[in-house]
Amino acid sequence: MKIVDAIDTEAISIDLQARDKKGVLEELAAPVARIADIDHKHLVNVLLERERLGSTGIGGGIGIPHGKLKDLKNLVLGFGISRQGVDFDSIDKRPTHIFFLLVTPENSTGLHLKLLARISKVLKSDAIKAKLMNAADQNAIIKIIEQADQEL
């Protein structure tokens, strides 16, 4: 599955306002919860529980918070940019700017892992990260992701 096939423009925020991890998760989760027709508070709690196991701040300015939900029908992918950067307990201790939020049904471990790996691969490119940081709107984000998907 390509990243662009999983993301909905409604779940893209190009200017996250939160200044801490919990705030970012709440902000990223809001449109994802609406799209998936799930409880926002429950989704945030699932994400926070996952963060307690170890930060999803993978370094290089990237965070990929993720979780699994029992009653979810289809995977939902959200995206956000924090221009100022957030302390996300990243492994490199540096601020996190680019976020992909992945929520999958509880029984779809293979798909969950494949999409996480694909996102990680795309975000290894400094050029792609720079393009994402400079994107003017949701459509530009989609085009950048689409192009990156094709290059994999």
Look up the CATH number of the domain holding residue 23. Answer: 3.40.930.10
CB 82, CB 97: distance < 8 Å = yes
Give residue-wise pLDDT tens across range 27-43: 999 999 999 999 999 99
CB 95, CB 62: distance < 8 Å = no
What is the total count of domains within the chain? 1
Task: Pull the structure tokens for residue 98.
Answer: 């680019």
> Which structural domain, as residue segments, surrounds residue 44?
3-151
Q: Known catalytic residues?
A: 66
Question: How does pLDDT run along the chain (152 residues), one tens digit per residue?
Answer: 899 999 999 999 999 999 999 999 999 999 999 999 999 999 999 999 999 999 999 999 999 999 999 989 899 999 999 999 999 999 999 999 999 999 999 988 788 899 999 999 999 999 999 999 999 999 999 999 999 998 87
